[in-house]
Amino acid sequence: MRLIWCLYVLWILCSGVTSRHRHQQQRLRQVLTQRLQRINTEVSEWLVLKNEEYRGWLEKSSFASWDYETDLSKENAQKLSKNNVEFAKWKKICVREALDKLKLPGLSYDARHQLRILAYSVDPSDPLQLRKVTEIQTKLEEIYGKGVIEYNGTSLQLEPGISNLFESSRDPKVLSEVWVKWRDVTGKKMANLYTEYVELQNTGAIENGFEDLGDAWRQRSFYETPDLVEMTENLWQEIKPLYVQLHSYVRRKLRAYYVKNHPEYDFPNDGSIPAHLLGDMWAQEWTKIFDLVQPYPEVKEVDMDRVMREKGYNVGNMFRRAEEFYTSLGLFKMVPDFWWHSMLVRPKEKDREVQCHASAFDFYNNDTFRIKMCTEVKMKYFQTIHHEMGHIEYFMAYRGQPTVYRDGANGGFHEAIGDTIALSVQSRKHLQTLGLLEDAVMSEENKRKSDINFLMSQALQKLAFLPFGYLVDRWRWRVFSGEVTPDKYNEEWWKMRLEYQGVTSPVPRTNLDFDPGAKFHVAANSQYIIYFTSFLLQFQFYESMCQASGHTGPLYTCDFYRSKTAGEKLLKMLQLGSSKHWKEALQQLTGDTRIRTDPFKNYFQPLIEFLRKENKGEVGWANAKINWK
């Protein structure tokens, strides 16, 4: 009957205008218009109500997460789990109602956009399964957060103890021992839990209309981007030749060092790099081996950590200086609650365990924003502060949006903002402004060499990260789809580490190990492809802001500090939140609608030319194999 009525209406509206039908057409158009207006009004009112309810739940969840991560007690874990279960119950009802409303005709684009966000869920419908998911998630994070190893008669946590040792030691035996112990107290304890977690999360994703959890993630973080897998693969292929050049140069320098200084160590000759020798627990950023691979060691580079201490830097003024950079662009000051309640250093209470992984928190009440990290007076922490404060600036910029739009345009945007600012902070010009670097008189040749040294230090952080940033979720997508089964989790992890990064484990591994779990974002079930895209987006943002500031000269020399023009351009994009498609937000700041690798390549061009000359075509690791039992 409904179909017949629809066909009749369609016939009346589409038929030729005659005296017989004119009145009927006008009347039907009025009825239909009124009906559609009524539908949109009702949906708008419902969205206002649900946005406020959603905001309330996000506020509760943020406080529960904050309380737990700043005090990993059993009581706080139980409170967090209970909150997550109750929040999921609300979401279940909201999702059902949003899906029903999406079936209504004549909805505006904005209404459909909001409804799709509210209709997103990966929670299983079975209450027992849902409770189990939240319990496992909390347990995985607890294992990671409480990870402690025993080394040389001392108990070491990841930060600062293990990280400091990894950054400073050059003894391959020591590094290998610590590398293994960290994975034994984290990933290895997660293996069975993670397998069950994947099964439960996939159940929820499939029940909610997705192919698997990976499909759900891709659709949520990169809204209306069906070609995300192809897009990220193309971006990687554009960057891969640059990485191969860096990898080959670093490998040759490391091999020379260890052959000379640790002749007892059998450095592989198959083109791969042992993962424990790169100055980082996950071999994702290599900045701490700069002294071993510095292109021109005769041009002395400043030890920024030492200079910061000598100049009287402390944790408090590191945060204040970061805030001042943002306000110099016309962006926001931190709210009073930030200074009163943020956890900026590791608490002194010995009986209080915390999650030191740096994070920014939005409490969704418009005046509570905090950072949690265990800061030390080091340049790497100074950069991290700018990164995390970038999240806070984004939070504050879009707080006027409906709750569903209080998010980045896509996941990569949120991660890119603070790093865009950090690129400016790391420039020699800005370090001179801060008094951390003297404006020394150099010959043109020494200036060229110093620039290459600087770009190498940047590449060890930015370029070295990209294959790791890419492969973590490529591995998880394969896990979620069932392509990689639990009995092959670790083997496939190392095959991909070798394929993309060219690194191998220091000791033979087995499928009884679960090395992905030694990385926070795997334990916390946080997406990682967003970091891959953010490391490219930040150079695109940086280039645009440099142009807006009137910068001339090589891109890597730009500092847009105090440029209100650049800040205004950035703010307009930040204020959009996720209310517009990410391509539209990207266009707002850069004029582009796609992620480009050109700014990244332009930034590092002098270094890439240097590497090609040094490597002389001897690159790659085609004959390497994983270190496997």
Number of neighbouring beta carbons within 10 Å of residue 194: 22
Q: Residues 261-271: pLDDT tens digits?
A: 999 999 999 99
Establish whether 492 is a catalytic residue: no
Q: Which of 258, 531, 542, 603 is catalytic?
A: 531
Number of neighbouring beta carbons within 10 Å of residue 334: 21
Q: Rounded to whole angstroms, how far apart are CA atoms 45 and 370?
A: 32
Half-sphere exposure of 348 (CA within 13 A, CB side): 0
pLDDT attached to residue 167: 85
Establish whether 357 is a catalytic residue: yes
pLDDT attached to residue 156: 86
Establish whether 358 is a catalytic residue: yes
Q: Rounded to whole angstroms, how far apart are CA atoms 73 and 380?
A: 29
Q: Which of 113, 276, 391, 414 is catalytic?
A: 391
> What confidence category does residue 173 fall into, taking pLDDT thresholds of 50, 70 and 90?
very high
- Taking a C-beta distance cutoff of 8 angstroms, is the pair 205, 145 a contact? no
Establish whether 585 is a catalytic residue: no
- Indicate if the pLDDT at residue 24 is higher than 70: no
- Indicate if the pLDDT at residue 289 is higher than 60: yes
Highest mean pLDDT: which range of 205-209, 212-216, 408-412, 564-568? 564-568
**Short-list 281, 286, 255, CA closest to 269:** 255
Give CA separation, 554 vs 558, 562, 602, 605, 606, in Å: 7, 19, 8, 10, 10
| Pairing mode of beta strands 273-274, 503-504 | parallel
Give CA separation, 582 vs 34, 233, 240, 531, 594, in Å: 33, 19, 25, 15, 9
Q: Rounded to whole angstroms, how far apart are CA atoms 413 and 296?
A: 35
pLDDT attached to residue 1: 34
Higher pLDDT, residue 147 or 326:
326
Establish whether 391 is a catalytic residue: yes
Q: Which of 151, 257, 521, 614 is catalytic?
A: 521
Residue type at 610 in one-letter notation: F
Establish whether 247 is a catalytic residue: no
> What confidence category does residue 25 fall into, taking pLDDT thresholds of 50, 70 and 90?
low
Establish whether 430 is a catalytic residue: no
Q: Residues 576-614: pLDDT tens digits?
A: 999 999 999 999 999 999 999 999 999 999 999 999 999
> What confidence category does residue 4 fall into, taking pLDDT thresholds of 50, 70 and 90?
very low
> What confidence category does residue 223 fall into, taking pLDDT thresholds of 50, 70 and 90?
low
State what percent of residues in the chain have pLDDT above 70: 95
Q: Which of 159, 353, 388, 393 is catalytic?
A: 388
pLDDT attached to residue 21: 61
Higher pLDDT, residue 351 or 547:
547
Q: Which residues contact 45 (CB under 8 A, 6 or more apart)?
A: none
> What confidence category does residue 444 fall into, taking pLDDT thresholds of 50, 70 and 90?
confident
Q: Which residues contact 105 (CB under 8 A, 6 or more apart)?
A: 36, 39
Q: Which of 205, 283, 358, 566 is catalytic?
A: 358
Establish whether 551 is a catalytic residue: no
Q: Which of 113, 247, 276, 357 is catalytic?
A: 357
Q: Which of 415, 464, 492, 566 is catalytic?
A: 415
Please list, residue by residue across 133-170, b when 16 or more beta carbons sit within 10 angstroms of its beta carbon and e when fewer do: bbbbbbbbbbbbbebebebeeeebbbbbbbbebbbeee
Q: Which of 113, 276, 386, 387 is catalytic?
A: 387
- Indicate if the pLDDT at residue 20 is higher than 80: no
**Locus of tokens 């990385």:** 519
pTM value surpassing 0.85: yes
- Taking a C-beta distance cutoff of 8 angstroms, is the pair 47, 402 a contact? yes
Q: Residues 93-151: pLDDT tens digits?
A: 999 999 999 998 888 999 999 999 999 989 898 989 988 998 999 899 999 988 988 98
E-assigned strand segments in 307-430: 359-362, 369-372
- Indicate if the pLDDT at residue 18 is higher than 60: no
The beta-carbon contacts of 616-621 under 8 Å, at least 24 apart in sequence, are 618/248, 618/252, 619/244, 619/245, 619/247, 619/248, 620/244, 620/248, 620/271, 620/502, 621/247, 621/270, 621/271, 621/272, 621/498, 621/502
